[in-house]
Amino acid sequence: MTTKLLIATKNRGKLEEFRRIFGDLGVELVSADELGLPDVEETGDTFEANAILKAEAQAAASGCMTIADDSGLEVDALDGAPGVYSARYAGAGGSEANVRKLLAALADVPDERRTARFRCVLALADPRGALGARVELTEGRCEGRIAHQPSGSGGFGYDPVFVPADGDATMAELSATAKDAISHRGRACARMRERLAAYLGAGR
């Protein structure tokens, strides 16, 4: 029987990234949305705290080994904002509203001060006890800068205005393969793969 691995998200863009990166591990990746699980309130003040909250809660609710991520954009000129509030930076307006608010906040900021990074923390929890009392954590970062206007139709979230370091194209202009190789989530997933494969093997 194929092992189910729950990805604790209802964000289709994130789910597709996880399916690309973990698709060859011989597991069935399912989302919180597909299992009808309720949202977990992100009450933590760090990416680590929120990832752990979601992983533990949805592992317990589903009975499945669960990976949760918390990720976001940190802009140096805004003292690290939007940070853990990246997804709700402009309230309930969604990604386009978030991008508009970000660009407005940076309207008078020159190129050399528009440095930023995407950060992703992954938490792996298993209700079967394979991890003992621990939750495994990995982190990935992608350094870059904020463009003056959106460009590109790929990706999601802030991808149309984030230009990775040493590049000229936004994340939204990159192919899925190119993005996975350098993205914060891709790097966090790469670090999780070896641990995940070991736990999956032990549980079969």
Q: Could you give the residue numbers annotated as active site?
A: 70
- Do strands 162-164 and 4-7 pair parallel, antiparallel, or not at all (unpaired)? unpaired
Paired strand residues for 15: none
- Annotated ligand binding at 85? The verdict is no
Instruction: Tell whether residue 71 is among the known ligand binding residues.
Output: yes
9 is in an annotated binding site: yes
In whole angstroms, what is the distance from residue 181 CA to residue 131 CA?
28
179 appears as a binding residue in the annotation: yes
Are 72 and 86 contacting, i.e. CB atoms less than 8 angstroms apart?
yes
Instruction: Give me the sheet containing 4-7, strands edge to edge.
Output: 28-31, 4-7, 65-75, 115-125, 136-146, 162-164
193 is known to lie in a ligand binding site: no
Run of H or E residues at 20: helix 12-22
Tell me whether residue 148 is annotated as binding: no
Residue 54 annotated as binding site: no
Annotated binding-site residue? 114: no
Q: Residues at the annotated binding site for Mg(2+)?
A: 41, 70
Q: Residues at the annotated binding site for substrate?
A: 9-14, 71, 156-159, 179, 184-185
Q: Residues at the annotated binding site?
A: 9-14, 41, 70-71, 156-159, 179, 184-185
